[in-house]
Amino acid sequence: MKYYNRYKQSGKEEDLLPRKRGPKYKTRRPIPFIENKVVSLREKGNNKYEIVNILKINLPNFAISPSGVYNILKRKGMNRLTPPMKQNKRKIIKEKMGQLGHIDCHYLSKSVINGKSIKLYLVCIIDDYSRIAWAEVVEDIKSITVMFAALKCLNILNDHYQLKFEEMLSDNGPEFGTKSSTQKQHHPFERLLMELGIKHRYTKPYRPQTNGKVERFWRTLEEDLIRETTFESVAELKEELIQYLYYYNHERPHQGIDGKKPIEMTNLLPN
């Protein structure tokens, strides 16, 4: 009946045929206002997921998906981050030491100690801005163990690099706590952050790249120190780790901070 009524009004036989469902091609595009917002956020170095989250908070009435953002960026030739975009993100989001710390646990191979098969883990905290890092060897990743290892890392970073954190980003592992506000005070790691006045942030589930700084640290540590290396004892592993952390913080240039050494991002070097 819809087609017949359309034909009666126009007298054109083509109006008896079904038309394409949904909006026409150009109406599928977001309005220019949203496209301009996406472009502006991209220029600041945000990825498509970060752009969606920012728009969801600031413009809740204008829904857009990550694939929609990607289509805009591809159409504008901005689907790949350029060096200026990366530099802008560093300037805007990481303005000083201690704004954000990343924490994570890393499983070591059972054969890392020569002639033994034991479970060992590393707990690491790394500063987002400077890449200053510290790690501790632990025998398990129970919440109480991780809490004491984290406390030791925080104390060393504070004593040696004057680092005090405002926020700490972790994955959603049980060793790092729970998002339930009623249970936080009973969890060792959550309670530690509460006592120190550090806000706890969590990565998105199944997206380890959100905690990419510390994930990259694990890869670097494996390549430089752990892989194809065996240690005679846990004590030797701990000693070598301390020496490596000094090298990592003081001697090793980082591409992510324009080839600088982490110590050069601090105000601890003499003028």
Please compute the mean of the pLDDT values over residues 110-133 and round it to a whole number.
Answer: 93
Q: Does 23 score more than 50 pLDDT?
A: no
Q: What is the pLDDT of residue 25?
A: 43
Percent over 90 (pLDDT), the chain: 46
Q: Taking residues 212-237, report their average pLDDT.
A: 91
Is the Cβ–Cβ distance between 143 and 74 less than 8 Å?
no
Per-residue pLDDT at 31: 76
Cβ contacts of 185 within 8 Å, gap of 6 or more: 191, 194
User: How many angstroms separate the CA atoms of 35 and 55, rounded?
Assistant: 11
Quick: pLDDT tens for 153-165: 999 999 999 999 9
pLDDT exceeds 50 at position 264: yes
Task: State residue 30's pLDDT score.
Answer: 66
**pLDDT at residue 69 above 70?**
yes
Q: How far apart are CA 93 and CA 103, in angstroms?
A: 18
Q: Is the pLDDT score of 16 beyond 50?
A: yes
Tell me which of 82 and 155 has the higher pLDDT: 155
175-179, 202-206, 223-227: segment of lowest average pLDDT: 202-206
Would you say residue 114 has pLDDT above 50? yes
Determine the pLDDT at residue 269. 65
Taken in order of first residue, the domains within the chain and their CATH numbers are 2-92 (no CATH), 94-265 (3.30.420.10)
Q: Are 102 and 126 in contact (CB under 8 A)?
A: yes
If residue 121 lies in a helix (H) or strand (E), which one and from where to where?
Answer: strand 121-127
Global pTM reads 0.67
Range name among 16-25, 70-79, 235-244 with the lowest pLDDT average? 16-25
The pLDDT-based confidence of 9 (bands split at 50, 70, 90) is confident
More confident residue, 140 or 4: 140
